[in-house]
Structure 1
Amino acid sequence: MKHEVQLIEKGGKPEWAIIPYKEYQELIKVYDYFDDEALFAQALERNKDSETIPHDLVVRLVNGENPIRVWRRYRGKTMQELAKQIGVTQSYLSQLESSKRHASQKVLKLLAANLGVDIEELIETSSEIPSV
Structure 2
Amino acid sequence: MNAIILRPVREDADTVTLNRSDFEALMEALEDAQDLAESREALARLQRGEEEAFPIELIEHILDGMSPVRAYRQYRGLTQQALAQAAGVSPSYLSEIEAGRKPGSVDAMVRIATVLRVAVDDLLPPRPSE
TM range (shorter): 0.5 to 0.7
Q: Distance in 1 between matches of 2:44 and 2:126?
A: 32
The answer (yes or no) to whether the contact 2:68–2:125 under 8 Å persists in 1 is yes
Q: Distance in 1 between matches of 2:71 and 2:80?
A: 11
Q: Does 1:47 align with 2:46?
A: yes
Q: Does 1:101 align with 2:105?
A: no
The amino acid across from 1:52 in the alignment is: A
What is the TM-score when the length of structure 2 is the normalising length?
A: 0.62
**How much has 1:127 moved relative to structure 2?**
2.3
Q: How many equivalent pairs are there?
A: 91
Q: Distance in 1 between matches of 2:116 and 2:46?
A: 20
* Gap runs ≥5 in structure 2: 1-36
Structure 2 residue aligned with 1:123: 124
**How much has 1:44 moved relative to structure 2?**
3.5
**How much has 1:67 moved relative to structure 2?**
0.2
Describe how 1:8-19 pairs up with structure 2 within 5 A: none
- Structure whose residues are more often strand by fraction: 1
The answer (yes or no) to whether the contact 1:64–1:127 under 8 Å persists in 2 is no
The answer (yes or no) to whether the contact 2:113–2:120 under 8 Å persists in 1 is yes
Deviations along 1:56-94, whole A, 9 cap, x unmatched? 011112222100000000011000011111111111110
Deviations along 1:92-128, whole A, 9 cap, x unmatched? 1100000001110100110111100000000113425
Percent sequence identity is: 33
How large is the RMSD of aligned CA atoms in angstroms?
A: 2.2
Q: Distance in 2 between matches of 1:66 and 1:52?
A: 19
Describe how 1:17-96 pairs up with structure 2 within 5 A: 42=40, 44-48=43-47, 49=49, 50-96=51-97
Any idea what SS the aligned residue of 1:47 has?
Answer: helix
The answer (yes or no) to whether the contact 1:67–1:122 under 8 Å persists in 2 is yes
Moved segments of 4+, more than 4 Å: none
The amino acid across from 1:105 in the alignment is: V
Structure 2 residue aligned with 1:5: none
